[in-house]
Structure 1
Amino acid sequence: MSNHIKQFGWMKKMAENNDPAWLETTNDTSSRRTYLDELAKVFDQDSRSTRHKLDHFPSMVPTTAVGRLLGRYELFKLIKYIPGAIIEAGVFSGGGLFSFAHSSFLLEPHNIYRRIIGFDTFEGFPSISEQDASGESVHLKEGGYKDDCYESLRLSAQAHEDFRMLKGRRQIELIKGDIDVTVPQFIDDNPALVVAMLYLDCDLYEPTKTCLKHFLPRMPKGSLLVFDELGLEEYPGETLALLSECGIEHLHLRKLDFLKMCYAIL
């Protein structure tokens, strides 16, 4: 366990209980927690309608949340002219997947063939392999990062689809289940699949390796391979999966200025 986690006992307790308030705070500090609490209080106490607050969300969300949205927007621009699906492995609460969906709706409203597909158990980590065991994250346990949001995300996806300029072809897809099972089956069921971006946020060795094995052969030159935890001691499995499946020496890795994620243009 890192010194940072030891310093804040309350954070460890929240993690052990899978408290949703902890789920996005692995790199938290007491000042950042105060910041998040104050924004939450502003949102809850504001007498205006939820609809109004959602429409003016930048005033009530943390800068880090806006940063994640902008990061996905920047990544999307890199593959706007690359045909194929956007695959996110590890959906969690849906912020990343829907950021890509918003980017597509805004920047390519007529591209009805852009599929945005998210894979997740929606029940937390199914298991922890020996390649993950040395990780420092308190989430590395069966059920870690559990966020029971599948139905909410499904309904949200439907609302966005209904509002699209062009309808008739579903764009946002949620694939629920163990990635080691659902990804090979998805490939079998979708023989024409081409992947423009593979965003790996599984955190773990086995699902990351499965995604690399099955999706990389379907990624054309110019497509984007994105890692959310590459090189992080908290989640060594992601790095080990890359080294095991395809190596790192031929990847020209880049990063965005304001996020930990890194990517390679293939």
Structure 2
Amino acid sequence: MRTQDGQLFFTPPNQADAYKELRGIHGEIHDIAGEYWNWPSVATLTRPSLARILNLNFLYDEMLPVAGSICEFGVHYGSSLATLLNLRAIKEPYNYSRHIFGFDTFSGFAGVDEKDGGLVKSGDFHIDEGYEKLLERLLLAQESLSPNNHLKKFSLIKGDASVTSKQWLEDNPHSIISMAIFDMDVYKPTKDVLEAIKPRLSKGSIVVFDELNCPHFPGETQALFEVFDMNTIEVKRSPFLPYTSYFRL
């Protein structure tokens, strides 16, 4: 199923009613619980949503001993970024060198290549104009609940990552990358960013792909083929999500 903003969903028709029911219940819980809305709302998380949280927790533990910053390329609504901020606060509350950078156009795919297979088009996965300002507020609120909350330890970088990643490298000559998460889905920005950041990855850095070996988004895998020698890296799968894979340098 394709939504109006270009997202693709593969939920079986016989589960659609359950998702609608949970959405309605979520609103009722929010009204009933009042000031205590946050914890009761967790009850409406579905298995796929919980799997994404467990996946990020697993990847964070894999990365934890490695020095450097976290870069997520493809932020969308920012749920992964918010989770990463909270995982940092739990697992390394006083490591204020672990800056988290989120890159996104916030207007959908900037361009689609023939290597992307024809299922997606430019502008897919767009969100409402100005959403990054709401996301900035959300992340600031989350960080205010963490240790060292007087230090801003995240940055949102708007624009085509093919361009902004190169500018980021120029502006941050000190930065090394402990974990790079690729969730841009399509070929060109994935390849461009992989090539750009490769010198900033150290031995032990984690490189994560959200749609690797995925027939719906073949461009992500094609980009990896062209930047890394597949005979020299060991690509491992996430135990929680079918198309999330990673390798350690």
TM bracket, shorter-chain basis: over 0.9
1:51: how far off?
4.3
SS in 2 for 1:152: helix
Partner of 2:215: 233
Contact 1:58 1:66 (8 Å CA) reproduced: no
Give the counterpart of 2:82 among 64, 75, 98: 98
SS in 1 for 2:32: coil
**How do residues 69-218 of structure 1 correspond to structure 2 at under 5 angstroms?**
69-132=53-116, 134-135=117-118, 137=119, 140-148=120-128, 149-218=131-200
Contact 2:191 2:227 (8 Å CA) reproduced: yes
The runs of at least 4 aligned residues of structure 1 exceeding 3 Å deviation read none
Partner of 1:7: none
1:227: how far off?
0.7
Contact 1:69 1:95 (8 Å CA) reproduced: no
Say how many residue pairs are matched: 245
Q: Does 1:57 align with 2:37?
A: no
Gaps of 5+ in 1: 1-10
Contact 2:182 2:190 (8 Å CA) reproduced: yes
1:174: how far off?
0.7
Partner of 2:13: 30
SS in 2 for 1:258: coil
Once the two structures are aligned, what percentage of the paired residues are identical? 30
The residue type paired with residue 215 of structure 1 is: I
Task: Give the Cα separation in 1 of the matches to 2:24 and 2:93.
Answer: 36
Distance 1:152 1:50, change over 3 A: farther
TM-score by length of 2: 0.93
TM-score by length of 1: 0.87
Contact 2:69 2:100 (8 Å CA) reproduced: yes
Residues 36-81 of structure 1 show CA distances to partners (whole Å, capped at 9, x for unaligned) of: 1111011122332454232233211112111101110110011111
Task: Give the Cα separation in 1 of the matches to 2:211 and 2:45.
Answer: 23
Contact 2:55 2:239 (8 Å CA) reproduced: no
Greater shift after overlay, 76-85 or 27-36? 27-36
The residue type paired with residue 63 of structure 1 is: R
SS in 1 for 2:89: helix
Gaps of 5+ in 2: none
Task: Give the Cα separation in 2 of the matches to 1:197 and 1:32.
Answer: 34
SS in 2 for 1:247: coil
Task: Give the Cα separation in 1 of the matches to 2:56 and 2:150.
Answer: 25
